[in-house]
Amino acid sequence: MIVEGTYPLPGTPVVIWDLLMDPEVLAKAMPGTKLLVRAAADRYEGVMRIGIGPITAAEFELVIALTDVLPPYSYAMQIDGKGRAGFTRGTAKVELVPEGAGSVMHYSADLQVGGKIAAVGQRLLDSVSKLLTRQGLEALNRELNHRLGGAPA
Amino acid sequence: MKPAAFEYHRPASLDEALALLAEHEDAKPLAGGQSLIPAMNFRLAAPAALIDLNGIGALARTGGMDDGGLQLGAMTRHCTLERSPLVAERAPLLAEAMPCIAHPQIRNRGTVGGSLAHADPAAELPAVMVALEATLVLRSASAERRVPAEQFFTGLFATALEPGELLTSIELPPPPARSGFAFQELARRHGDYALVGVAAMLTLNEAGQCSRARVALLSVGDGPVLAVRAAAALAGQPPSASSILAAAELAAREDVDPPSDIHASAAYRRQLVRVLTRRALTRAAGRVRPSSSIPT
Amino acid sequence: MKPGRYFGERVLRLEDARLLTGRALFVDDVQLPGMLHAALLRSDEAHARIRSIDASAARSRRGIVAVYTAADLGAYWRPGPLLVPPPPISGLVFNTATQVPLARDKVRHAGEPLALVVAESRYLAEDALEDIVVDLEPLPAVTDLEAALLEGASLVHEQFGSNLAAHVHQHKGDYAVARAAAHAVIARRFHYDRGAAAAIENRGVVAQWDARAEELTLWDTTQAPIPIRNGLAALLGLRESQVRVIAPFIGGGFGPKIMMYYPEEVLLPWAAMRLGRPVKWIEDRRENFYATTQERGQVHDAELAVSKDGKILGVRDRFLHDTGAYDPYGLTVPINSQCTLLGPYVVPNYDSEFTAVFTNKPIVTPVRGAGRQHGVFVMERLLDFAARELGIDRVEIRRRNYIQPDAFPYDHEILFQDFRPLVYDSGNYPAALEQAVELIGYDSFVRQEQPRLRREGKHVGLGIVSYIEGTGIGPYEGARVTIEPSGSVRLATGVGTQGQGHFTTFAQIVAEVLGVEVDQVQVSTGDTREFTWGTGTFASRGAVVAGSACHAAALKVREKVLALAGPLLGVAAGELVLHGGRVQSSNLPDKGISLGELARKANPLRGAVTPGTEPGLEATAYFGPDRGNAASGVHAMIVEVDAETAAVTIKRYVVVHDCGTIINPMVVEAQVQGGVAHGIGNAFFEQLSFDENGQLRNASFMDYLLPTALDVPTVEMAHIETPSPLNPLGTKGVGEAGAIPTGAAFAQAVEDALAGSGVELTEIPLSPNRLFELLEAAKARGAA
Amino acid sequence: MPAPLIHRDSGGLRVNGQHTIGVTVNGTHHERPVEPRLLLSDFLRHDLGLTGTHVGCEHGVCGACTVLLDGAAVRACLVFAVQTDGHEVTTVEALGGEGALHPLQQAFHEAHALQCGFCTPGFLMSLLPFLSEHPDPSEQEIREALSGNLCRCTGYANIVAAVQRFVQRNGATAGNRPAGAGA
């Protein structure tokens, strides 16, 4: 499953970068994240609960490992989520390109989904992934605006 | 495939149900259960408690309203709507859609309120309610509010229902004079989730031009999608083959951004929107009655 | 065997009453005091190394009696047997890797079991599954057949150094020469994807160990109770006589229920013996999509060399066969594909080579049709394309290539799945074709109807194809017939039955021979206590092989009746007839005795009998055919395609079928109708959709689409009977026939309906979504 | 001793509180404690031993478990037993009687409308209310009525034929509900 796109964010890459490394901000960018801690410089661990329509019992243990970190412009993530409802894992790339006063985030993720959610939730996967991405980016944007003291977008 | 354990409540009145809902945060209302129970059997859903609404007779009342419209109790079962002469007369679009919903055994159990609150993007009733400009009545322990169907569906399986709120009834306006309707869908097999569906209402003015067109699409987005550009294109036009063709083309190209799944790619869904919208509007135009036959 | 009072008649089924009232016993209906319930933890991963499994939390949950992993099985853990060894074909390569009861070091397909939970209820067992913590190290999954064979591909079974499961090359004549001489060579690539057998009854096992009697009883949804018993006895260190396997009423088989030993068949008896309580496991529908075997994944690169007048000069086929994660069933499926491709045609030169490939998908074993679909699809499509290219009518090109009725026995000079030469015993292919052409109204459809409807903007098309089904293979089956003093006749045979009507057809055979009413014959199938020799119900062999055994046993009993009654009545054996439950003089009917009374006399309680006398009117007999026989037929269908939505409606379906002598036309027609429904499913609705990581994306009846009553037309049927010389009944198999050529007929019909669109159909299944893609692609080509 | 076993069988260990329900099944009233999550299909099969109701998918698609709830055909796998408190359930065991088949069962027999017979009870229970409401259905109506029940053996043709046979034979009396069609 491929998810990709671009999204304008307030602030220059330098400003955004530190916030992106903040587990609290990162958590907001991943809807349903109940807990996220920075276990190491390049490793986050947490719990994510996805509740969409009929799927309310999908809780995942989440591990995110950062790779190819090129502050303040780009990094990649190894995402690994496991739960009773199945698993999701893959890689995501995030790139910040300065544009005017702000930046444009180029994101792309290639995710595998397995187990029960893949087997019986197929009809909804595409819509759900689009929804989570949109929600995540909007949340991230709100958070950045908030932290940068700007008005919420 | 056995559900996880849960607490079970069967309130006898709406107030009791609302009270229970207020005190049990992670409780889920159980209406017909024809979508919820399969999800529970797969253990994709595991609510801590269920509040069974099947014991509340007041929620199952359906009847005509003085303005010639209809009021549907949320717990009215599909099979009741399907067989109701009143529905056939006052909401023929709804009547036409009913047989497309799953199978008789499911319709004997499933309820109109359950289907709307579940807000499955592939479900027929949300699109029909949007096309019919229905008003949904929501009740909480403290208040009642009325929400137009168009604003009730807020996203993927998402509705305007707040925690502690229940959908208690649905109000349908009488069919306008000189209006025609049509419901069309394509499913792999009869009763399956539609690959694409269209609920269309068309109203003409004295001059025979479209004064209002409502085209609600299902299975092409996060919820029912109102084809506003298609409708705008029809406004002021006679419902001719060419104007309908143009509207259908707009619906497919600009009104939808359909998802892909194993049964239908986005491109195929677009094509189905194009074809089914054209067919639905054509049939609706052909059904326009000179004037309202509803006694008011 | 000649038609008579019952044989060949539309006798209503004797088993119906029990089934219609809900009294028939299915495995899930077995209720035993103290019974426990099992559930299996199955891998979410398609390919992974097992780091650890922690079941401690599950074990401590209330209501949980035991949790077992591979480690707990100790010495009992071992891979299953190779059920069908490869046939003696020179140069054949075969790598054996059979399934294991619980994955130990590695999981090789999604759904492979990791642990067994035994609890006081299935609900509690499923609760406990969620407590088991499994640490799996994911490995790249092998799913694409070509990629699987590339250097550096991830390995399903490391010990083989590649994912090659088998390589087989069979040929006759010299294809190269034929190709050189050909006026045209038609070459295409064909795809056939996976489907599920999807019996409405999922699998199930109930195991009970009786410590006092030291006897194990197993109720099992199997098509082969006797081999299960023998294998289990060996596994558990018991004597065969200590193990009783009962295959009661089975809710549909379609192939996968012949597979053995499924992990559950091995685990439950072991657990029941350890726990001293009966244990039940009933597969749920989601499990069924992983835990029950599947079929159909093949990719063919085939070419047909033809002369100017459409005569087949030769066929060359190279194909890949997906055998899944293990290959316990040997080469049965791909060899069926290889042999069945030749069909009813004279193919002077044939060169066929296949490679079976291990993938990280559920195990492949025969499913109704068992590889024959693929062969028929490739050959029939090649003929369609050749006909178009040569400007010959598609019916005519088939006519020109048929094996003629006087050419039997006809030797194709290659080896069949039963290790015997592929020699057709009998048939009349031209007659079947002409009858089908007549029934479907081919000429008027092509000349008038289709052009007229096209002018009206309707896209209608016709498909008409032929096929052969090798059926009724050995090794053997047996039966015991007993005339009881009550006068009723008891018939016991070893084959299991899954709805084919054996209770009735076998009774018809015996009733005919013994001159009793058919409902006087009580049939017992599938209980190893009743009959202990036999193999099972598969390869459309029940009626042919077990039926012939019933016939032989009945004849033996008839001899005993005559031998005993002759002296008793003072009538020469030659003048005796068996009629109305009596044996009597042909010219003096009152000179006779009822079979029941004779049975009593055959079991004297006092006095002496002449040495060598056997008591009772009972006999056991066996039948093993020299080789499989060749059922055949022609399918024709008319479809209408909505060119805008790519939705397809089947308007008419015609089958002309030859299964030799017919025991019960009602049963045969129903088997064909059911097979056609299965074929329509495979052609248009059913597809197991795996992603590139081996994840099944439609493991439910919401997304895996079985045809409904609205999707399957009532088939118009005609029979041709060319009796098989290979068995005394003259009958041939019919169980799978209906499902075999449907895809080929469907593709031809849809392509015909879309004539002019430039669409060429070389794959099955064809969903509307896929048809739309192909139409768009054709448009793009046209535009370019 | 049997009683507690039945509890086990139905997943009814005393967790999460049991509810005692009073339900009339095939005319017999039963008072039983049930765990809320117990599916009606399991209650009928395991607690009451009415194993004629079969289970094929447990997500409401195959129709094998179809029973009548207050006379209406429903999926027993999509109803909790606890919900039937105070209601009437009719299963295939209620059809016919004294060794005689119900006319619809008889029609199935004569038309060879079943092979393995596993899905058959579901078909019968779906058809009874349908036939009482549609005394003279068209083939299309019959096929639509059957479309919520899956059969893998028959290809449906003989099931349609059986219904037509029943309709012809019971044409005169078909207006009134076939015997055993429940409340």
> C714-747: per-residue pLDDT in tens?
999 999 999 999 999 999 998 898 999 999 999 9
- In chain D, what is the straight-line distance between the N-terminal and C-terminal CA atoms, in Å? 34
Domain A2-148 homologous superfamily, CATH: START domain (3.30.530.20)
Closest CA to C385 of C748, C754, C776: C748
Structural domain boundaries in chain A? 2-148
The per-residue pLDDT for D11 is: 31
Domain with C254, as residue range(s), is 31-139+197-291
As a whole number, mean pLDDT of residues A20-36 equals: 89
Cis before C765 (ω within 30):
yes
Is residue C521 in a domain?
Answer: yes
The CATH number of whichever domain residue C231 belongs to comes to 3.90.1170.50
- Kindly determine whether residue B42 and residue A120, on different chains, have CB atoms separated by under 8 Å: yes
Residues C127 and C224 in one domain: yes
DSSP summary character for residue D46 = I
Nearest by CB to residue A122, choosing from C138, C286, C697, is C697
The per-residue pLDDT for D137 is: 97
Is residue C158 in a domain?
Answer: no
Does B157 contact C at CB distance below 8 Å?
Answer: no
Reported as a single tens digit per residue, the pLDDT across C597-642 is 999 999 988 887 888 888 999 999 999 999 999 999 999 999 999 9
Quick check: C753 pLDDT over 50? Answer: yes
Closest CA to B51 of B84, B78, B16, B76: B16
D-chain residue closest to C203, CA distance: D56
> CB contacts < 8 Å between A and C, how many?
43
Residues C37 and C94 in one domain: yes
- Provide the percentage of residues in chain B whose pLDDT is more than 70: 98
What is the rounded (10 degree) CA torsion for B45, B51, B52, B57? -140
**Last residue of one domain, picked from the residues C229, C261, C291:** C291
- Kindly determine whether residue B271 and residue C772, on different chains, have CB atoms separated by under 8 Å: yes
DSSP string, chain B: --PPP-EEE--SSHHHHHHHHHH-TTEEEESS-TTHHHHHHTTS---SEEEEGGG-GGGG-EEE-TTS-EEEETT-BHHHHHH-HHHHHH-HHHHHHGGGSS-HHHHTT-BHHHHHHHT-TT-HHHHHHHHTT-EEEEE-SS-EEEEEHHHHEEETTEESPPTT-EEEEEEEPPPPTTEEEEEEEEESSTTSPEEEEEEEEEEE-TTS-EEEEEEEEESSSSS-EE-HHHHHHHTTS---HHHHHHHHHHIIIII------SS--HHHHHHHHHHHHHHHHHHHHHT--SS-----
Q: Tell me the C-alpha distance between D180 and D183, whole Å.
A: 9
Residues C466 and C484 in one domain: no
The CATH number of whichever domain residue C309 belongs to comes to 3.30.365.10
A-chain residue closest to C41, CA distance: A84
Quick check: A62 pLDDT over 80? Answer: yes
Describe the crossing of helices B266-286 and C768-783 by its angle, rounded to 10 degrees: 100
Is residue C738 in a domain?
Answer: yes
Confirm if C110 and C694 have CB atoms less than 8 A apart. yes
Read off φ and ψ for residue A35, nearest 5 degrees.
Answer: -160, 135
How far B120 CA lies from chain C's nearest CA (Å)?
14
Does C678 contact D at CB distance below 8 Å?
Answer: yes
- Which pair of structure tokens corresponds to residue D37? 């999550």
How far C686 CA lies from chain D's nearest CA (Å)?
12
Does D8 contact B at CB distance below 8 Å?
Answer: no
Q: Tell me the C-alpha distance between D12 and D30, whole Å.
A: 16
Among D residues 51-90, those touching chain C with beta carbons less than 8 Å apart? 51-59, 61-62, 64
Query: Which three-class secondary structure string do you get for C192-225?
Result: ECCECCCCCCCCEEEEEEECCCCEEEEEECCCCH
Quick check: A1 pLDDT over 90? Answer: no
Residue that the structure tokens 């009869």 belong to: B190
Residues C436 and C483 in one domain: no
- State which residues of chain D have pLDDT below 70: 1-16, 172-183
Read off φ and ψ for residue D103, nearest 5 degrees.
Answer: -50, -35
Q: Tell me the C-alpha distance between D19 and D8, whole Å.
A: 15
Residues C647 and C522 in one domain: no
Share the mean pLDDT of chain B. 96
The per-residue pLDDT for A145 is: 87
As a whole number, mean pLDDT of residues B213-220 equals: 98
Does B34 contact D at CB distance below 8 Å?
Answer: yes
ipTM of the complex: 0.96
- Which pair of structure tokens corresponds to residue C347? 């193919």
- Which pair of structure tokens corresponds to residue D146? 């059957």
Reported as a single tens digit per residue, the pLDDT across C305-322 is 999 999 999 999 999 999
Is residue C6 in a domain?
Answer: no
Share the mean pLDDT of chain C. 96
Residues C690 and C619 in one domain: no
Lowest mean pLDDT among A77-91, C430-444, D48-62: A77-91
How far A40 CA lies from chain B's nearest CA (Å)?
33
Q: Tell me the C-alpha distance between B14 and C251, whole Å.
A: 45
Exposure string (b/e) for B232-264, b if CB count within 10 Å is 16 or more? ebbeebebeeebbebbbbbbbeebbebbebbbb
Measured between alpha carbons, how far is residue C91 from residues C87, C170, C458, C560, C627 in Å?
A: 11, 9, 53, 51, 23
Label the pairing between strands B210-218 and C617-623: unpaired
The per-residue pLDDT for D5 is: 30
**Last residue of one domain, picked from the residues C588, C623, C658:** C623
Is residue C146 in a domain?
Answer: no
- Binning pLDDT at 50, 70 and 90, where does residue A51 land? confident
Residues C613 and C674 in one domain: no
Residues C265 and C306 in one domain: no
C-chain residue closest to B261, CA distance: C697
Quick check: C783 pLDDT over 90? Answer: no
Residues C513 and C590 in one domain: yes
Confirm if B192 and C703 have CB atoms less than 8 A apart. no
Confirm if C19 and C83 have CB atoms less than 8 A apart. no
Read off φ and ψ for residue C667, nearest 5 degrees.
Answer: -70, -40
Is residue C180 in a domain?
Answer: no
- Kindly determine whether residue D117 and residue C667, on different chains, have CB atoms separated by under 8 Å: no
The per-residue pLDDT for C131 is: 96
Quick check: C225 pLDDT over 60? Answer: yes
- Kindly determine whether residue D36 and residue B102, on different chains, have CB atoms separated by under 8 Å: no
Confirm if C219 and C192 have CB atoms less than 8 A apart. no
Lowest mean pLDDT among C118-122, C205-209, C535-539, D36-40: C535-539
Q: Residue D157: its chain C contacts at CB < 8 A?
A: 673, 712-715
Q: Tell me the C-alpha distance between C286 and C700, whole Å.
A: 6
- Total of domains in chain C: 3
Residues C671 and C594 in one domain: no
The per-residue pLDDT for A53 is: 78
The amino acid occupying position C514 is: L
Q: Tell me the C-alpha distance between B220 and D141, whole Å.
A: 30
A-chain residue closest to B220, CA distance: A127
* Burial grade of C710 (CB within 10 A; 0-12, 13-18, 19 or more): middle
Residues C368 and C392 in one domain: yes
**Last residue of one domain, picked from the residues C291, C323, C342:** C291
C-chain residue closest to D161, CA distance: C714
Reported as a single tens digit per residue, the pLDDT across C279-288 is 999 999 999 9
The per-residue pLDDT for A150 is: 56
Residues C309 and C447 in one domain: yes
- Kindly determine whether residue B119 and residue A53, on different chains, have CB atoms separated by under 8 Å: yes
Q: How many residues does chain D have?
A: 183
Q: Tell me the C-alpha distance between D98 and C412, whole Å.
A: 58
DSSP string, C151-189: TT---SSGGGSSSEEEEEEEEES-HHHHHHH-SEEEEEE
- Kindly determine whether residue C44 and residue A114, on different chains, have CB atoms separated by under 8 Å: yes
Among C residues 28-47, those touching chain D with beta carbons less than 8 Å apart? 28-29, 31, 33-35, 37
Q: Mutate which of C697, C701, C703 to test chain A, going by most A C-beta atoms within 10 A? A: C697
B-chain residue closest to D11, CA distance: B2
- Which pair of structure tokens corresponds to residue D34? 């049930």
Nearest by CB to residue A131, choosing from B120, B155, B262, is B155
Is residue C407 in a domain?
Answer: yes
As a whole number, mean pLDDT of residues C456-465 equals: 98
pTM exceeds 0.90 for this model: yes
